[in-house]
Structure 1
Amino acid sequence: MTDTEEPALGKREARKQDRRDAIVAAARRSFLEEGYAATSMSGLLKTLGGSKATLWSYFRSKEELFAAVIADVTAAFRQQVTSELLTPGEMEATLVNFCRVFMNKTAHPDAVAAWRLVVGESGRFPEIGRIFYQEAAGHIERALSGYIAQQIDAGRLRNEGAVDMARTLTGMAAVHHNRRLWGIETADSDMIDAHARRFVGYFLRLFAVP
């Protein structure tokens, strides 16, 4: 390959990435504002322009596009949660930080909108619940259960099943998220910190080795 071919290839790949990002951004707005059923590939073409063949060359189905949107919505959340759990530190402080990040991120308007979308439409479209679990909730569950398994191996926590233990903690942390979904509570950073410490306290009383 010549020196002149390499920059051209780089520009071509950059244009493809820009086009993909534009498709995901338009789909994100449509899914979160209009819902899953009301979003169509043909409707997105009216917004984006271009040909149907081009759109389908990036995403082969609406389900695949929805997965890309959920990955986009939750990317920073997943990265920060994973980073918290991989950072060496005292177990209680790590779990408190995890809960704090979890509650702060799930309070973001796009996260609330995505959750409402999944809850509201997964009955008619089971694929969106599966996609949401794979791209978001399942990732968090796997990261936390992996950390808990390490603490079990280190003798700090009783072994009651790392996955079930992770679900116990995230279930507590999601209580206030549910209230925000219902529109009866807003996010409060001071209260989030207090709740994170309280939930981890409950968790450790259940599972910590004396």
Structure 2
Amino acid sequence: METLTEKAPGKREARKEERRLAILQVAKRSFLDNGYSGTSMSAISAELGGSKGTLWSYFPSKEELFAAVLDHATTSYRQELGDLLAPSADLRATVFAFARSFIAKITSPEAMRLHRLVAAESGRFPEVGEIFYRRAPQPTQQLIAGFFAVQMDAGHMRRDDPLAAARVLTSLCMGGAHQRLLWGIDTSPGDLEAEAHYAADIFARAFEIT
């Protein structure tokens, strides 16, 4: 009996997590297809089946649901970046690897749809821009800044504000293909590779990476 008592909560938690992930998948599709304003908790609940109260027990508001969708979409990538930004004897190579990975991520079809959503709706719904910034760009920049702080302390790059340096690097990565795709202009994998090299080279020279 003791064993069954120990296993039961685990099964319940697993079912709750499965339900939560199902909600996030439906919500993500709705946000990307219909926009923030065109997505309703009622429609998501109807697609999922079950009562609206069940959805609200997981996410008390559309704002919290949107934030959870962003968290789910970005957490795994930040874990990848954590592995990518490991101590290395070749800091230039690490910066280039980051630039290539980051550009590939932000120019993916799903990321472009999300950026268009935020750009289109944050004027009318400021919470959309706020949630997006707090859940996507900001934690990514903070992660990079932590890596740069260590590199600066080790004398591998020019001393500066690590967070400012992180913002410079991400801005360089967003200045080319990302903007063209945002405006509906096609780009090629070769363009992405060249832009990663260019962004990494400019950054390395600006911050005197040895």
TM range (shorter): over 0.9
Instruction: Find the counterpart in structure 1 of residue 179 from structure 2.
Output: 178
Instruction: Find the counterpart in structure 2 of residue 146 from structure 1.
Output: 146
Q: Give the letter aligned to residue 16 of structure 1.
A: K
Give the 3 Å change call, closer, same or farther, for CA 136–166 of structure 1 in structure 2.
same
Matched, 1:71 2:76: no
| Cα distance, 1:8 vs structure 2 | 2.2
| Cα distance, 1:204 vs structure 2 | 1.6
Cα separation, 2, equivalents of 1:120 and 1:185: 20
Give the 3 Å change call, closer, same or farther, for CA 114–209 of structure 1 in structure 2.
closer
Instruction: Find the counterpart in structure 1 of residue 36 from structure 2.
Output: 36
Q: Give the letter aligned to residue 182 of structure 1.
A: W
SS at 1:86 equivalent: coil
| Cα distance, 1:87 vs structure 2 | 4.8
Give the 3 Å change call, closer, same or farther, for CA 145–122 of structure 1 in structure 2.
same
| Cα distance, 1:86 vs structure 2 | 2.4
SS at 1:66 equivalent: helix
Instruction: Find the counterpart in structure 1 of residue 189 from structure 2.
Output: 189
Cα separation, 2, equivalents of 1:149 and 1:87: 12
Q: Is the 1:80–1:101 Cα contact (8 Å) retained in structure 2?
A: no
Cα separation, 2, equivalents of 1:89 and 1:15: 45
Cα separation, 1, equivalents of 2:25 and 2:90: 39
Provide, for residues 111-132 of structure 1, a one-character-per-residue CA deviation record: whole Å limited to 9, x for no partner.
1111111111111111111111
Q: Is the 1:78–1:136 Cα contact (8 Å) retained in structure 2?
A: no
Instruction: Find the counterpart in structure 2 of residue 117 from structure 1.
Output: 117
Cα separation, 2, equivalents of 1:135 and 1:87: 25
Name the TM-score, length of structure 1 as normaliser.
0.93
Q: Is the 2:67–2:135 Cα contact (8 Å) retained in structure 1?
A: yes
Q: Is the 1:74–1:111 Cα contact (8 Å) retained in structure 2?
A: no
Provide, for residues 57-92 of structure 1, a one-character-per-residue CA deviation record: whole Å limited to 9, x for no partner.
100111110011111222332221222112534110
Q: How big is the alpha-carbon RMSD for the aligned residues of Structure 1 and Structure 2?
A: 1.6
Cα separation, 2, equivalents of 1:193 and 1:184: 17
Cα separation, 2, equivalents of 1:77 and 1:189: 20
Listed as ranges, the gaps of 5+ residues in structure 1 are none
| Aligned residues between the structures | 209
Q: Give the letter aligned to residue 102 of structure 1.
A: F
Listed as ranges, the gaps of 5+ residues in structure 2 are none
Instruction: Find the counterpart in structure 2 of residue 98 from structure 1.
Output: 98
Identity %: 45
Q: Give the letter aligned to residue 163 of structure 1.
A: L
Range moving further from structure 2, 143-152 or 73-82: 73-82
Q: Is the 1:106–1:177 Cα contact (8 Å) retained in structure 2?
A: yes
| Cα distance, 1:209 vs structure 2 | 5.8
Cα separation, 1, equivalents of 2:184 and 2:73: 21
Cα separation, 2, equivalents of 1:209 and 1:31: 41
